[in-house]
Structures are given as structure tokens and as C-alpha cells.
């Protein structure tokens, strides 16, 4: 068959169209690759960090006797998780309880006062510990103990929502710092030792249950 100039042009076009475009193939493959999934650690840290902006609170009044004097106080208690770190399977979590109040003790007026309680816990999260995680509603007993006749507004009955973790042994390192110690001015280390359980204030039961789910996945990913 005689190949003239026009036929040659057509053959070149067919060959060019039939050849694979390496740039196009590479780009198409990249487009179909799934985005890297967030790790269980990232998911857990992100949910803890969201609690830094929420917290939980109650408003109360107290009336009780103290060494022959009548104490009347009204105030608010705010609980919040304010920091978390993860190193391998080890977690370090810091929470704070702020108690702000005013009132009177006998004839002495008490101006606006703030007591702060900072708790830091560090522990290796195991699958068994994660399986035993629960959310509970309970009174902050250090601030509103039973003999202060505390009454709170709303339907919470002076109870905050807590994330509760329990271990089989005192393997949790806990440190507590407060400015609420008689005879001391400023922050004082009130406790530093090993415990077998702790409570973290959370903004709601739903958030607490979400943290529990993430902590269980995190523990499984660690193989603990």
C-alpha cells in the first residue's frame, strides 16, 4: 500500500493517542488513594482538647455552723479538663476545679474568693482499665461536703458529671495542688502519690461516653 503524506499523519495521530500518558496515570492513581486516617491517639487528644473550652458548672448556697458562728456562702463551682499528653500508651491528664464564692462567717463579710484545686494524673492505659471506665454523677465532696447543707440551682442537685477510671492496684501517679490550705498562702502541693482511681470533670455524660469509646480504641491500638 502506498503511504502518502496524509496517511502518515493519521498513523502518527493513532499511535500518539494509543500511548499511555504517564503523567495522567500517576495523577489518577494519586486521586484514588484514601486520605491518611487519624490515629486513635489523635482522635483521643482532639476530644480531650475540646473539653478545654467547655467544662461543667453548678451554682450553690451553703449554710452551716463553724465554731459557734453561722456560715452563709453562695458561689459557683467549675470543673474542666485543661491538658492532656500521650507518650506511647501513657497518658497524663490535668484537670481543675474552681470554687468561687462570697458571703459571711458570723458578722464578718467574705468578699469574692476563689479556691482552686488542680489534679494531674499519669498512668499507662490498659485495655482492662479502659473497659472499666464509667461516667458518674456525684457531688464535689471537697467543696460541698455533706455537713454544709449545700443547695444548688437547677435540677443537678449539686452533682457534676465525672469520668471515672479504676485500676486493680495503685498504679496511677496523682498530684494535687491547691490554694485552700489553712496557714498557707498561695499554691501548695496537697498530695503526691499513687492511687487506684480518679475522677475527671466532663461537660456531659455524652462527652464522657465519647471519651470512654476513644480511650478503649486507644488502649487496643497500644496492645495493652
User: Looking at the domain assignment, is residue 184 inside a domain?
Assistant: yes
The arithmetic mean of pLDDT across residues 190-205, rounded, is 96
Q: Which domain holds residue 149?
A: 40-57+80-100+115-222
Beta bridge partners of 120: 94, 175
Instruction: For residue 206, count other CB atoms closer than 10 A to its CB.
Output: 11
Q: Is residue 29 part of a domain?
A: no
Answer whether residue 166 is part of any domain: yes
Burial class (CB in 10 A: 0-12, 13-18, 19+), 155: exposed
- Whether 120 is in a domain gets the answer yes
- Listed range (30-34, 83-87, 90-94) with the worst mean pLDDT: 30-34
Tally of residues, the chain: 224
CA 172 to the chain's CA centroid:
17
pLDDT at 224 over 50: yes
Q: Report if residue 149 sits inside a domain.
A: yes
CB neighbours of 176 closer than 8 A, spacing ≥ 6?
117, 118, 119, 120, 189, 190, 191, 192
Considering the domain boundaries, does residue 146 fall inside one?
yes
Residue 10, CA distances (Å) to 16, 17, 20, 69 in order: 10, 11, 18, 107
Domain count, the chain: 1
Given this model, what pLDDT does residue 2 score?
A: 44
Question: Higher pLDDT residue, 13 or 203?
Answer: 203
Average pLDDT, the chain: 84
- 115 contacts 136 by C-beta, under 8 angstroms: no
> What is the CA angle 201-75-119, rounded to 5?
30
Residue 62 inside a domain? The answer is no
Q: What is the pLDDT of residues 144-167, one digit of tens each?
A: 987 889 999 877 789 999 999 999
Mean pLDDT over 127-148 rounds to 92
Least confident of 22-26, 79-83, 103-107, 178-182: 22-26
Residue 211 included in any domain:
yes
Per-residue pLDDT tens over the stretch 24-70: 333 333 333 333 345 999 999 999 999 888 889 999 999 999 888 99
pLDDT at residue 15, as a whole number: 38
| CA-derived radius of gyration, the chain | 30
Amino acid at each position: 500500500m502506498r503511504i502518502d503524506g496524509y496517511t502518515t499523519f493519521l498513523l502518527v495521530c493513532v499511535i500518539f493517542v494509543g500511548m499511555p500518558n504517564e503523567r495522567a496515570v500517576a495523577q489518577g492513581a494519586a486521586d484514588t488513594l484514601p486520605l491518611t486516617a487519624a490515629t486513635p491517639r489523635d482522635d483521643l487528644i482532639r476530644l480531650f482538647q475540646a473539653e478545654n473550652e467547655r467544662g461543667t458548672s453548678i451554682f450553690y448556697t451553703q449554710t452551716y455552723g463553724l465554731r459557734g458562728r453561722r456560715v452563709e456562702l453562695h458561689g459557683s463551682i467549675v470543673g474542666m479538663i485543661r491538658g492532656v499528653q500521650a507518650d506511647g500508651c501513657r497518658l497524663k491528664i490535668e484537670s481543675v476545679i474552681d470554687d468561687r464564692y462570697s458571703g459571711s462567717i458570723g458578722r464578718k463579710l467574705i468578699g469574692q474568693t476563689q479556691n482552686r484545686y488542680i489534679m494531674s494524673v499519669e498512668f499507662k492505659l490498659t485495655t482492662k482499665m479502659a473497659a472499666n471506665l464509667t461516667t458518674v454523677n456525684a457531688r464535689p465532696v471537697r467543696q460541698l461536703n455533706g455537713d454544709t447543707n449545700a443547695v444548688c440551682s437547677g435540677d443537678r442537685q449539686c452533682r457534676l458529671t465525672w469520668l471515672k477510671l479504676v485500676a486493680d492496684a495503685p498504679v496511677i501517679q496523682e498530684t494535687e495542688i491547691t490554694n485552700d490550705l489553712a496557714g498557707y498562702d498561695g499554691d501548695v502541693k496537697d498530695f503526691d502519690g499513687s492511687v487506684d482511681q480518679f475522677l475527671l470533670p466532663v461537660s456531659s455524660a455524652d462527652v464522657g461516653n465519647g471519651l470512654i469509646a476513644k480511650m478503649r480504641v486507644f488502649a487496643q491500638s497500644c496492645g495493652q
